[in-house]
């Protein structure tokens, strides 16, 4: 298990626990020292999770979040418009996924939460570091978008449809 995988698992464990999770318990569960857990918690906080240390353990202080996966298609020229529109409406773009006929399911974490993080991503694309994953599937791709409510996700879905980006999804798991 990599450090990032461990940190993701720690967040999930704390999120799913109904009671504070002690550092000793986390260290035991992941076969690392208590000091590694302290460092992991610092990195998790730096990544934007509001982890609170109590005398009984760690708790996650995050608002209720919901997510939905959207199947979309657009050209490179509309990439900025898609990303900005989603974050402007309160969405957080967690990832991009494609289903390639040869390579299968490919997914990359994005974690785009604002125009600033969208611009950073777009600058990396424009600099030639890479090209959008959607380009290997004729511009078809999926995004998992997180928001504070189902109503916000409905507004985002409506906007994607109005702009012509949203594709009707089959009843097939992504």
Please indicate if the annotation marks 105 as binding a ligand: no
Please indicate if the annotation marks 82 as binding a ligand: yes
Residues 6+ apart with CB under 8 A from 62: 15, 49, 50
- 97/122 Cα distance (integer angstroms): 17
Name beta bridge partners: 144.
69
Please indicate if the annotation marks 49 as binding a ligand: no
- 82/112 Cα distance (integer angstroms): 12
Match 């199947």 to its residue by tokens: 71
Please indicate if the annotation marks 141 as binding a ligand: yes
Residues within the annotated binding site for Ni(2+)?
74, 82, 141, 143
Binding positions are 74, 82, 141, 143
């Amino acid at each position: 298990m990599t450090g990032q995988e461990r940190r993701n698992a720690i967040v999930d464990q704390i999120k799913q626990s109904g009671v504070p999770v002690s550092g000793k318990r986390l260290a035991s569960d992941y076969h690392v020292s208590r000091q590694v857990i302290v460092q992991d918690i610092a990195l998790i906080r730096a990544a934007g999770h509001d982890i609170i240390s109590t005398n009984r353990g760690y708790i996650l202080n995050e608002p209720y979040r919901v997510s939905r996966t959207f199947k979309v298609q657009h050209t490179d020229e509309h990439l900025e418009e898609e990303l900005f529109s989603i974050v402007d409406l309160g969405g957080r773009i967690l990832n991009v996924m494609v289903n390639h006929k040869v390579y299968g399911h490919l997914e990359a974490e994005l974690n785009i939460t604002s125009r600033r993080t969208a611009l950073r991503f777009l600058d990396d694309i424009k600099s030639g570091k890479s090209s959008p994953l959607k380009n290997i599937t004729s511009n078809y791709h999926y995004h998992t978008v997180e928001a504070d409510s189902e109503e916000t996700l409905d507004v985002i879905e409506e906007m994607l449809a109005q702009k012509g980006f949203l594709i009707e999804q089959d009843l097939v798991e992504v």
